[in-house]
């Protein structure tokens, strides 16, 4: 029985030659040995160098945000009120201690609201200290008081605290009228409103206590 011997078929590259001519007609489709297949790959055209854009000049320091020597808010006009502000800070912290002492000696129905008023006074002090920092760039260190506060009888204590809060509201309003700094005036007017609201609440507490 005769064995059939399969001879390698001759590979017809002509159809690929025609494709190659359409793709890269100027390149040799079959590079010589030793050059590697990379020779058949068209080299990428070099991208012309683009000159660097000129650097933008830096703005003068006086034009940078927050670098004004005399800003429109919390600037020199507000600095004229620094002594008044520090007095308000000390007063707010004193009021906070007083409200906490009053809450410890008050009827149960009034305790929570008095603690909230104490928190309000602490917030007022922090807002004023923030204003102090905006004006001066320095932190204000309030005095630390260890004085024991005695509130006395309940109704008398409410009367005293009512007048203190109402006068605080008036003093904030006067200070707001005494400055040309619109931002500081807005802050002081807001604190004035808070003090007057405290006075109204203390008056309602007094009304309830007197009915009993």
Cβ neighbours around 206 below 10 Å, total: 18
* Mean pLDDT (whole number) for 61-73: 61
Which tokens sit at 88? 């308000």
Alpha carbon distances (Å) from 44 to 35, 47, 174: 18, 9, 78
SS3 category, 126? helix
Question: How large is the average pLDDT for residues 161-181?
Answer: 97
In whole angstroms, give the CA distance from residue 188 to residue 202: 21
The average pLDDT across 172-194 equals 97
- CA 201 to the chain's CA centroid: 32
* 38: Cα separation from own chain's centroid: 58
Of 33-42, 62-71, 173-182, 192-201, the least confident? 33-42
Contact 129, 140 (CB under 8 A): yes
Determine the Cα–Cα distance for residues 145 and 106; give it in Å rounded to an integer.
22
Q: Is the pLDDT of residue 31 over 90?
A: no
Q: What is the mean pLDDT of residues 156-179?
A: 97
From the number of C-beta atoms within 10 Å of its C-beta (0-12, 13-18, 19+), residue 141 rates as exposed
* Per-residue confidence (pLDDT) for residue 169, from 0 to 100: 98
Indicate the pTM of the whole model. 0.66
Percent of the chain at pLDDT > 90 equals: 60
Higher per-residue confidence, 148 vs 142:
142
How far is the C-alpha of 205 from the C-alpha of 173, rounded, in Å?
25
Spell out the residues 6+ positions from residue 68 whose beta carbon is closer than 8 angstroms to its own: 62, 75
Whether the pLDDT of residue 61 is over 90: the answer is no
Element (H, E) at 174: helix 154-177
pLDDT at 5: 46
Average predicted confidence (pLDDT) for the chain: 80
pLDDT of residue 160: 96
Among 8, 9, 13, 10, which Cα is nearest to 30's?
A: 13
């Amino acid at each position: 029985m005769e064995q059939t011997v399969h001879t390698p078929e001759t590979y017809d590259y002509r159809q690929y030659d025609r494709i190659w001519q359409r793709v890269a007609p100027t390149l040799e489709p079959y590079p010589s040995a030793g050059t590697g297949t990379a020779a058949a790959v068209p080299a990428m055209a070099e991208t012309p160098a683009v000159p660097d854009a000129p650097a933008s000049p830096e703005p003068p320091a006086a034009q940078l945000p927050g670098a004004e020597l005399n800003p429109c808010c919390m600037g020199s006009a507000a600095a004229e009120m620094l002594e008044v502000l520090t007095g308000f800070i000390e007063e707010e912290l004193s009021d906070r201690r007083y409200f906490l002492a009053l809450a410890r000696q008050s009827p149960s129905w009034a305790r929570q609201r008095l603690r909230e008023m104490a928190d309000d006074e602490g917030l007022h002090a922090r807002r004023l200290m923030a204003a102090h920092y905006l004006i001066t760039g320095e932190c204000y260190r309030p005095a630390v008081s260890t004085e024991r506060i005695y509130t006395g009888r309940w109704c008398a204590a409410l009367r005293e605290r009512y007048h203190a809060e109402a006068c605080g509201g008036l003093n904030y309003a006067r200070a707001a009228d005494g400055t040309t700094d619109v931002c500081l005036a807005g802050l002081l007017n807001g604190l004035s409103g808070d003090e007057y609201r405290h006075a109204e609440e203390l008056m309602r507490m007094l009304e309830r206590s007197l009915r009993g």
